[in-house]
Structure 1
Amino acid sequence: MTHSVDHELVQAAAEVARTRCRGDNHTVAAAGRAGDGRIVTAVNAYHFTGGPCAELVLIGAAAAQGVYELDTIVAVGDRDRGVIPPCGRCRQALLDYFPRIGVIVGEGDRIRTVPVTALLPESYVWADHQLDPE
């Protein structure tokens, strides 16, 4: 199932990629849309030890701003690379944190929003995280 594309979100990530991504340490920007409409942005923190992708940094940045639910997320590469899909680790983390999140993927005029579950079929469910606190 494909949903409409949040072009404002794509533009927000592209602007951060264009203005904040510098050198080899920060090469991807992400933007997420909160349930209340706010947009949260972040950049990756590349490091040879496995520094976090922009989508993972965004999860923490959103929480720091009091955003614990995201409706949609997109990642955009620096140097005008456009929308890039989340890696496998990010797909799993997004599913675990936001099981109903939409992810913007695709290139050029073919970008589309798909449920994270479509990007990770037959996925592992982090059971302990999914339990409701008592």
Structure 2
Amino acid sequence: MTAQTHPVDHELIQAAAEVARTRCRGDNHTMAAAARAADGRIVTAVNAYHFTGGPCAELVLIGAAAAQGAYELDTIVAVGDRDRGVVPPCGRCRQVLLDYFPAVRVIVGTGDRVRSVAIADLLPETYVWADHQLDAE
């Protein structure tokens, strides 16, 4: 994989931070996510914590985007409540993002080290679900 410099979508970070600040209350909603769809729209969502393993904000966002007709996402970011800033996706979210949007970029890092990286860079030597589907045919 070749490292490339891509601009960070600060508007996405601000959108997620605003949702985290205004919509994340209590223990049920502690993370917000924002993504830019291929058509330029910004879609936002919050996590739905539950002791049984409720979905992360990134996964809720995938469903919210589909409900709005946004089936291609270019860039995604998650931000924690209480001004925690950008939070990288967990392993499950990384795998789901790769399976749904193999070209999506993810904003990670903190402070002056915030950067946009390809989802594949967050999962080197990953299992590709689509490859498994080809084997089943």
Coarse TM-score class (shorter-chain normalised):
over 0.9
Q: Structure 1 residues 117, 52: CA separation in 2 closer, same or farther (over 3 Å shift)?
A: same
Q: How many residues align?
A: 131
Which amino acid is the alignment partner of residue 13 of structure 1?
A
CA RMSD of aligned residues (A): 1.2
Q: 1:76 to 1:130 in 2, by over 3 A?
A: farther
Q: Which 5+ residue runs of structure 2 have no aligned equivalent? A: none
Shift of residue 64, structure 1, vs aligned partner: 0.2
User: Which moves more between the two structures, 122-131 or 64-73?
Assistant: 122-131
- What's the CA shift string for 1:25-63, capped at 9, x where partnerless? 000000000011000000000000000000000000000
Post-superposition offset of 1:130:
6.6
**2:78 counterpart residue number:** 75
Call closer, same or farther: CA 1:62–1:69 in 2, change over 3 Å: same
Deviations 1:51-108 (A, max 9, x none): 0000000000000000000000000000000000000000000000000000000001
| Change beyond 3 A, Cα 1:35–1:20 | same
Q: Mind listing any 5+ residue stretches in structure 1 that lack a counterpart?
A: none
TM-score scaled by length of structure 1 = 0.94
Equivalent residue runs for 1:107-126 within 5 Å: 107-126=110-129
For 1:1-134, list aligned pairs within 5 A. Answer: 1=3, 2-127=5-130
Normalised to the residue count of structure 2, the TM-score between the two structures is 0.92
